[in-house]
Amino acid sequence: MKYKVVYFTRTGNSRRVAEKIANILFLEALEIRDNMNWKGVFGFIKGGYYASTNKNVVIIISENLDDAEELIVVTPLWAGKVAPTINTFLKTKALKKVHLVVTSGSSYLKDRSYYKSVTDIIKSKNNEDAVIDDFTDKIRLD
């Protein structure tokens, strides 16, 4: 299989985006979980700290992804970076085979050059479906 779609989410945005992408491409969206509690204000603060200091977490994933040629990875932006769960996951992957899709409130991922592509879905721009359509069109032609 050429692509697999995986995502991490804290509040559902990245799940929604991953499921839209997967539906358009006739794929499943697979959730990556971790051993942390990111809920509430303390979870938010911990999340910012873990993201900004590149701390690892224990990731939980129910499927082997080795048969995918390329990965579509949907992550929230935390403190300008990929969320720690996805950051940990990506440490064992070839980033040139990763299409990263980043959901955020208003800002862009800072370190962008390592990936095959980076797509930003920024809430304040109100253009989620148009960005997803552009992205999936490109993936289909890839």
**Location of structure tokens 């769960």:** 85
Q: How far apart are CA 92 and CA 48, in angstroms?
A: 22
The structure tokens listed for 142 are 């890839």
The only residue of 4, 13, 135, 136 in contact with ligand FMN, by rule CB under 6 A: 13
CB closer to ligand FMN, 27 vs 86: 86
Looking at beta carbons only, is 88 or 103 nearer to ligand FMN?
103
| Number of neighbouring beta carbons within 10 Å of residue 9 | 21
The residue within the footprint of ligand FMN, chosen from 4, 5, 6, 9 (CB under 6 A), is 9
Residue 4 vs residues 32, 35, 102: alpha-carbon distances, Å: 12, 23, 16
Told to check if 104 binds ligand FMN by CB under 6 A, we report: yes
Q: Which of residues 62-91 bind ligand FMN (CB under 6 A)?
A: 76-80
Interface residue with ligand FMN among 107, 111, 112, 134 (CB under 6 A) is: 107
Q: Scanning residues 19 to 58, which ones bind ligand FMN (CB under 6 A)?
A: 44, 47-48
* Total number of residues that touch ligand FMN (CB under 6 A): 19
Element (H, E) at 24: helix 13-24
Q: How far apart are CA 121 and CA 69, in angstroms?
A: 24
Q: Which of 84, 100, 89 is nearest to 21 (CA)?
A: 100
Token output for 61: 């994933």
Nearer to ligand FMN, 31 or 133 (CB): 31
Smallest separation, CB 2 to ligand FMN (Å): 25
Binding residues for ligand FMN, per CB under 6 A? 9-14, 44, 47-48, 76-80, 103-107
